[in-house]
Chain A
Amino acid sequence: MSSITGHSAIDELPTSDGRPPLEADRAGTGRLGDRIFGGLATGAGLLVVALVSLVGVFLVVQAVPSLLNNNANFLTSREWVASGAEPRFGIVDLLWATIVTSVIAMLIAVPLGVAVALFITQYAPPWLTRSAATLVDLLAAVPSIVYGFWGLTVAGQYFEPFAEVVDRVLGWLPVFEYTGTPSAKSTLAFAGLILAIMILPIVTAISREVFAQVPTTHKEGALALGATKWEMIRVAVLPFGKPGIISAAMLGLGRALGETLAVTLLLSALNTSSAFSFSIFGGGETFASRIANDAGEFDSAQKTGAYIAAGLVLFILTFIVNAAARVVIERRKAFTE
């Protein structure tokens, strides 16, 4: 009920009494009141469908002319000169930064979120259960821009030594190479870490809901076989919750991909001429941060179109991730019914 994610776990369960829900086509025949009210409700549903479709249509319509004018390959170019007579822009750098930050966020937030959810549902003493859940939910109440500012001016400095240590130990791998520019708090790795904090409440909330639904009989069955608590969790709770964890991870990923302000404040843009770097301790811009950074400069249709094209790619990315999460949920539904 305290769903902060907009995702409902109840959605995934058959109705309590096992009967199909009352949908009542003919619960109230063709009375005027019923026709009007039913029409309004259906209209609202259709409006939502139209809205999402329009997002796709409008973004495509406005992006296409700019893309046709583009002198570089949109999918493979690292350049970003959106205006002028010969615009050249591509998304490689943006895609790289977006995916790296999101993946780092996932790698941290999913295991941590699942562990916190297990803590809340299985380990926390009763007096703590409720407030623990609320506290983690409150993380979602801190606005994104505050995370960004806090990361930049307060927490970021403590990331510097960490980056240096990683560089000393693993720096021979290009992925972990840290050159000192930009400073550690402006790197993809730190942006990913901040994103992890931001999606943690999402992952936790959904995992928690699913773990709370593990049938007591499964758990008691495991305990009766002499399993320890951890073994019970491994054989009963985690397998039951697996699809829920996957969809939680997907929804978290969707959020991380599109998160804007925290990333905008933190990441330092690359010099246009710099060589491509594989390091997570490099700079860059994500789709969202590039758009937000340049929001004041949407002056020509050509330029606006280029940014809208970038937004379209982001929309498609999140669409795919969210649709995948939905498929996982649907599959689980078929399984539980």
Chain B
Amino acid sequence: MSAVRTLDESAPPATTGVDDFGGKSTGRALTDQLARVVMWAAFVIALIPLVWILGTTVLKGGQMLLDASWWGNSQSGITARRVGGGAVHAIQGTLIQAFVTALISVPIGVLTAVYLVEYGRGRLAKTVSFMVDILTGIPSIVAALFIYAVWVVTFGFQRIGFAVCLALTMLMIPTVVRSTEEMLKLVPNELREASYALGVPKWKTIMKIVIPTSFSGIVTGVLLGLARVMGETAPLIILGPYTKVIATNLFDGLMATLPTMIYQEYSENLQPAVDRVWGAALTLILIIFLLNILGRFVGRFSKVRN
């Protein structure tokens, strides 16, 4: 190549040393730069709605949360035209229902994951795994309709808080199964073998070695799963109508929750009610974020890592 160049005197001299390596054509370099810009832009675009929503909610709802009555009172006796009242009835309801949901779905979810990782083989395990996937994909409204079809239509029971918990359980089980499964798989087989070699039976190995080793990871999964179902509104609208007063009995009467409070106040379409929508939304987001942060924090203590 260079020999040719010296012979042909009309050819311009090479301008940079890079050309001798075949260089990077400007087109390729441009495409590369363009791709870099696009990726950064995508990230910034993704952040816009997050910042916007959080900003709006804090600006419009923050004031409500600074009022002590928000944390101390219910909406009992407060009409949509009037300001005031609090969200304590809805906060309580949301927390109670979340707690009972976790109480039902964690044992089922963890045991299912134990089955899939430690016991399951062959067709049945494949079927269970497939069904967990399907359950993951079931829309919350379908879960709610199913519970409605069983609870109200078939058995003729009332729409109560516990029915909501059942619907939420259906939505929470698959997240618990998947995250627990993932954590159990991260426990090295060597630990199981070490335990077996000490003459420890399998079930004790799982209970005392495998689950404790992956414990914080399982807790993280549960908290993230809980955070997810707490914001679900569809099952509440179908199964758990709103009430303005404090109610703590899951098995009798109506029970308020933050999502139904948002839905109710939204449908009033008056300024004091709209303010309460933002207040309730901010409260709900704060609870969910707290759970998320707590979950990630617990996850840092994980004994197993990739």
Contacts and interface: CB of A to CB of B under 8 A. Distances in A.
Physical interaction between A and B: yes
Interface of A: 1-8, 10-11, 15-17, 19, 21-25, 27-28, 31, 33-34, 36-38, 40-49, 51-55, 58-59, 61-62, 112, 115-116, 118-120, 122-124, 132, 134-147, 149-150, 153-155, 197, 200, 204, 226, 228-231, 233, 251, 254-255, 257-261, 265, 287-288, 291-292, 295-296, 298, 301, 304, 307-308, 311, 314-315, 318-319, 321-323, 325-326
Interface in B66-95: none
B111 A24 contact: no
Given A139-B46, A141-B288, A308 B149 contact: yes
Interface string B14-57: 00000000101000110110111011101101110110111011
Nearest to B137: A322
B153 to A, nearest CB: 6
A192 B119 CA distance: 42
A145 B263 contact: yes
Interface string B203-221: 1111100000000010011
A1 B139 contact: no
Nearest to B49: A197
Contacts of B31: 228, 230
Given A8-B182, A119-B39, A228 B28 contact: yes
B261 to A, nearest CB: 10
Contact of B112 (A16, A48, A112, A226): A48
Contacts of A136: 46-47, 50
B36 A6 contact: no
Contact of A10 (B52, B57, B132, B185): B185
The secondary structure that dominates the A interface is helix
Interface string B139-159: 111110110111011100000
A138 B118 contact: no
Interface string B257-282: 00100110010000000100100010
Contact of B185 (A15, A23, A59): A15
A143 B281 contact: yes
B102 interface: no
Interface stretch (B4-12, B230-238, B243-251): B230-238
A58 B52 contact: no
Contacts of B266: 149, 265
Most buried by B among A37, A61, A141, A323: A141
B182 A3 contact: yes
Given A8-B178, A41-B114, A155 B231 contact: no
A260 B234 contact: yes
Contact of B201 (A34, A150, A291): A34
A44 B118 CA distance: 13
12 contacts: A6-B175, A23-B121, A38-B202, A41-B119, A44-B107, A120-B43, A146-B285, A228-B31, A260-B139, A288-B141, A318-B138, A319-B134
B48 to A, nearest CB: 9
B127 to A, nearest CB: 6
